[in-house]
Amino acid sequence: MEYQIINAFTDKPFSGNPAGVCLPKTWPSMDTMQKIATENNLSETAFVVKKENGLYGLRWFTPTLEIDLCGHATLASAYALFNDREKDAQELKFDTASGILTVTREDEYLCLNFPSALAAECPIYTSIRKSLGIEPIAVFKSIDFLVLLENEAALRRITPNFDVLMKLKAEAGLDHDKFGVIVTAPGEECDFVSRYFAPHVGVPEDPVTGRAHCTLTPFWSMRLGKKIMDARQLSARGGTLRCEDLGERVKISGKAVPYLKGNIEL
């Protein structure tokens, strides 16, 4: 099986978010895909299969489970296809658990068209406060939790207690593990900054998270009164995104750098 690792949302090696991209001719079994993702031990491994209607089927797996939406592995999958199999294409369409997702080429950028995810204010859960060791301004909930902090310096200082954060599922009364915690603040050199923690899906801190910006984009668009914004994710690897609020959709753009090409032997 052809396999690549692409660093997404960066223009430099050894930064951004590395995604595994598997390009089988037909779908492997669910068990095989999960075992490959576990073996890869990246935040997400994507599986891409071309369909008869010209679309590409796309599925995403963390080291522990399949998820419904992933930005950086979609960008990485598009990068692999644009550079190897679809060199003349300007747009790719992916059939996914979150509907049809498109990726277009605009100069050096790959642009994701994703569903918007509005966040509503919710309680400041004890597990969030204690795990982050800081008092948030407010907490919101969409597909993920969003924690608002006063400034970038506070965001950089956080060292989460993941054992405590794992109690959030029960405290919030959730019946699934497919969520994370976005922590965000105004940026010093960009519009906003964030970090993303998802221990429930086997990803303690994700380097750069496209899906989080489905929530961050409308959130900061309303607060800043801007439709187009520059964002950074402040993980150890770091990443840069350009976000545009399109109403019911968001446009999330970034660059990518290839790291590895090979084959998985099964």
| Residues with catalytic function | 44
Output the 3-class SS for the chain.
CEEEEEEECCCCCCCCEEEEEEECCCCCCHHHHHHHHHHHCCCCEEEEEECCCCCEEEEEECCCCEECCCCHHHHHHHHHHHHHCCCCCCEEEEEECCEEEEEEEECCEEEEEEECCCCEEECCCHHHHHHHCCCCCEEEECCCEEEECCCHHHHHHCCCCHHHHCCHHHHHCCCCCCCCEEEEEECCCCCEEEEEEEHHHCEEEECCCCCHHHHHHHHHHHHHCCCEEEEEECCCCCEEEEEEECCCEEEEEECEEEEEEEECCC
**Hey, which residues does 100 pair with through a beta bridge?**
95
Phi, psi of 62 (to 5 degrees): -85, 180
| Residue entry with tokens 């402040």 | 234
C-alpha distance from residue 189 to each of 229, 231, 232, 240 (Å): 12, 9, 9, 12
